[in-house]
Each structure stands twice: as C-alpha cells, then as structure tokens.
Amino acid sequence: MPLLVCPGDVPPVASFTNTPVSGLAVSFNATATGANNTYSWNFGDPASGASNTATGANATHTFSAAGTYSVALTVSNDCGSDIETLNVIVTNYTPPVVCSGAQTINNCSGVITDGSSGDYANNKNCTWLIAPTGASSVTLTFTLFNTEADWDFVDVYNGSNASAPLLGSYSGTSLPPTLTATSGQMFVRFTSDVSVVDDGFSANYSCTIPEPTGNKVQAKIYLEGAYNTTTNSMVSDLNTSLPLAQPFNAAPWNYAGTESIAATNNNIIDWVLVELYDGTSSTPIARKAALLYTDGTIHHTDGSLGADFGNNTWSAVRLSIRHRNHLPVMSKNTINVPNLTPYDFTTSVSQADGDAQMREIEGVAMMRAGDFNSDGTLTYIDYNLAISQLLSGSPTNYVTGDANLDRNITNTDFALYLNNLSYMSIPLLRY
C-alpha cells in the first residue's frame, strides 16, 4: 500500500478576510496556511440560491439583503481540513468616490478622496458635485489631509460650481474644519501642481433632507422630452433658465399660487402643477405647484418630497400632473392625502386613466411631449406656436416649444411633437 505523504507534513489552517465592494457585494480572500489547498465557501445566504457557495481562494458574493451572515471557509489538502467561520456584517456599502475628472454624487452620505494608496500624482484637477436629491444642506468632514503647502489645494464651495460662494480653500497638513453647504449642494475641487506630492485627503460627506411638513402628495413621473434611456433619469439642462416663481399663473392654468424657490440646482428639471379631483366635480378640488426632479420624484419648494397641501386631508381622490409642454395625465387609481407611498406613473401606461395618455419607451411610461399650448391636445396649433416662438428668436430660454428642455427650439422638439400628434388627454384635463 503506497504511503500517503502530506505536503510539508502540515495540515491547513483556515482563515480569511473580507472587504466590502459596492452595495451588498463583499470580497472574500483566503489567508490560510498549508500547501496544495482546496477552498470551499458557504456564505450563509440561502436566499441567494446557487451563488451561496463558491470555490477558489478568492470569491465575491452579493448578499440578498443587509444583515449579519455566518460565512464559513473550508480549506482541505492531503493532510486534513479546517473550517473558519466568521460573522460578517453586510451593509449597503458606497465605495469612496476617487479623484477622476468631474463627478456628480447623488448619495446622501459617503466618502470622497484623492484615491491614492500612497502619494497622489502631479497635475491633478478633479471635482466632485455632491447634490443629493431633496437635501437642504451638505456637510463635509475631513479625516485625512496632507498636501503640498501653498501649491496643492482643496477648494470647497456652497453651490453647484466654482462660481458659488467659497466655503474654504485648504493646503498643507492641518485638518480643515467641518464645512456645511446650506444650498443643498457642495462643489469640491482638488488641484496639484507639477512637482512635490503627499498623502492627499479623505473626507466624509453627509446631507440633511427635511422631514415632510404638512400633508404631502407624493408621485413619480417622467417627461418624455427630458428622459434619458441610458441613465433612466431626466436631463437637467433647463435648470439654469428656470423661473424662481411657479409659471402657472397665466392662461390656460390661471393658478394664483405663490410657490417660489430661492435658487435652482442640478436636481431640478422643471415646475409641475399637481391637481386633485374628487370624482364629482369637473374642476380640481386643490392645486399646488411643485418641482420635478431628475429621478422623477416631485418635491416641495423646500426640497422635501411631495407637493405640500398644508393641513388638508382627503380620501379616495385622483391625482393629475400638468407640465408646460407635455400632455397632462390623470391617475387611474385613487389616493389618500397624505400618501406615504408615491403614486408611480412610470411603471406602466395603465397607471394613467386611459393608456393613450402616456407613452412607453423601453418599458418605462412617461408623459407625451409636444403639447406646446398646454391645452391637453396635440394639434397643428401646437406646431404653429412653436414655429412662432422660433421665428421670434425665443426671447427667453424658457419657452413651451422646447420639448426636450435643452433651452432651444430645434428639429428634435418637432420630432417629439410629430411622434405624439393627434394624441390627447382625457376630457377632464383638456382646456
């Protein structure tokens, strides 16, 4: 009988480390001793199905939910086997956003850093725009700071770009103070010169999102003209031309509300008019102007989620959304006010009262573009209005003929109009 010889005559000793990757994904790396080892992982996550187990010295597992998991590594060779079991806490992890050109961050908390594992490089020039949806303020707390004094700088601004008020400019080895941008957006810029580098910096950011006040109507809706199929969100090219006061105080809406904002930001797409109907009247029982954000959510002027209807409450009312140049829509189902769960028009055209009210693109429902005169019907009158605005030189960048909200009237706007020509809203919403 042949004699079995163990590699190095040493049985394995199992051990491993784990590192969060992104979201619920965690990387596992075996650090076991022994030779010619085989590795078997059990992540203690049966809800993940077949991916709950893996082989190999290194593995990455995406957990089914946040929580604490008992993760086991079995290491074997010809001398025996050993098991290491650790309790691994899994959170929805946001990796640091490292220096890499111009970046926009919409998360409410996380880390920004120069990204170096040692010294940063020369000639760095990178920016971070921290713009969480609905935030009233953003706070930055430095945990590491070491740059070439008087030559390499971190500049922090209270707003969306370097034209905003400067909160501070920092260089050297002293840890900067905690900074707060009260605009709800913070712009950070890191620059280094052609020589001499150091450890760099790391900073934690967090935001404050106001608690809802009053009774809110929450909804999610997309505008076809502004929708980007790649990002599954809307473009915000219009926000620099956005009026600070609600624009529905003229015909055909004739809404006399006083809603206004102090300043725009990159999250805002445009104003919308939110209306409630009780099923017995041909006119809305209440109306409020609100702000539509890039992710389709509707916000009060203070940045909090939902259109604010004050202290009023209603049961079983229907919700309509109006925009300056998209067909208005009415909800198929009723809501109670306040509604803690947003009414989501984007999941299906059947969320509207009459499938033709909305358009579906790549499985996402959205308001139809091209209702340039805002009467609830797409006809030649809309075309003529856009042509007249174009020929007049578009005296402002905020005109109804701009269907895709890029501050210009072009062939793209007319193409959007032609795609929806002859469509109309339900009679209740037509002017």
305, exposed or middle or buried, with CB in 10 Å at 0-12, 13-18, 19+?
A: buried
Of residues 342, 349, 391, 386, the one with CA closest to residue 366: 349
**pLDDT value for 355:** 78
Query: What is the pLDDT at residue 169?
Result: 97
CB contact burial 383-402 (16+ within 10 A = b; e otherwise): bebbeebbeeebeeebbbbb
Mean pLDDT value of segment 14-23? 91
The pLDDT assigned to 387 comes to 93
Encoded tokens for 55: 């082989």
Task: Give me the pLDDT at residue 7, please.
Answer: 57
DSSP letter at 114 equals: -
Is residue 393 predicted with pLDDT exceeding 80?
no
pLDDT at 139: 97
The two tokens of residue 216 are 């809110």
pLDDT at 214 over 90: no
Task: List pLDDT tens digits, range 130-150.
Answer: 998 778 899 999 999 999 999
The predicted model gives 219-235 an average pLDDT of 93
Tell me which amino acid residue 162 is: A
Q: What are the tokens at 135?
A: 């935030």
**Structure tokens that stand for 315 in this block:** 């049961």
Lowest mean pLDDT among 118-127, 132-141, 241-250, 336-345: 132-141
pLDDT greater than 70 at residue 2: no
Q: Give 325's DSSP letter.
A: S
Q: Which stretch of 4-18, 129-143, 238-252, 361-375 has the lowest confidence by average pLDDT?
A: 4-18
Q: Which of 67, 85, 102 is nearest to 14 (CA)?
A: 85
Give me the pLDDT at residue 38, please.
95
Percentage of the chain beyond pLDDT 70 is: 96
State whether residue 94 is helix, strand or coil.
Answer: coil
Q: What is the DSSP string of 361-430?
A: ETTEEEEPB--TT-SSB-SHHHHHHHHHHHHTT-SSS--TT-TT-SSS--HHHHHHHHHTTT-B--GGG-
Mean pLDDT of the chain: 92
Could you give the CA distance from residue 142 to residue 165 in angstroms, rounded to a whole number? Answer: 20
Enumerate the β-bridge partners of residue 85: 72
Domains (range + CATH), the chain: 13-90 (2.60.40.10), 97-208 (2.60.120.290), 216-370 (no CATH)
Q: What is the pLDDT of residues 101-127, one digit of tens each?
A: 999 998 888 999 998 878 999 999 999
Kindly tell me the burial class for residue 203, based on how many C-beta atoms sit within 10 Å of its own C-beta (0-12, 13-18, 19 or more): buried
Task: Indicate whether 28 pLDDT > 70.
Answer: yes
Q: What is the mean pLDDT of residues 199-208?
A: 94
Mean pLDDT in residue range 51-79: 94
Dihedral over Cα of 163, 164, 165, 167: its sign: negative
Taking only the tens place, the pLDDT of each residue in 40-63 is 999 999 998 999 999 999 999 999
DSSP per residue, 230-294 = TTTEE--GGGGG--SB-S-SSTTT------B-S---TTEEEEEEEEEE-SS-SS-SEEEEEEEET
Whether residue 407 has pLDDT greater than 80:
yes
Q: How confident is the model at residue 3 (pLDDT cuts 50, 70, 90)?
A: low
* The predicted structure's pLDDT at residue 1: 44
CB-CB contact of 238 with 76 (8 Å): no
The DSSP string of 152-201 is SEEEEESSSSTTSPEEEEE-SSSPPPPEEETTS-EEEEEE--SS----EE
Q: DSSP states of 338-351 as a string?
A: S-SSPEEGGG-GGG
Question: In whole angstroms, what is the distance from residue 166 CA to residue 176 CA?
Answer: 14
Residues paired with 166 in a beta bridge: 157
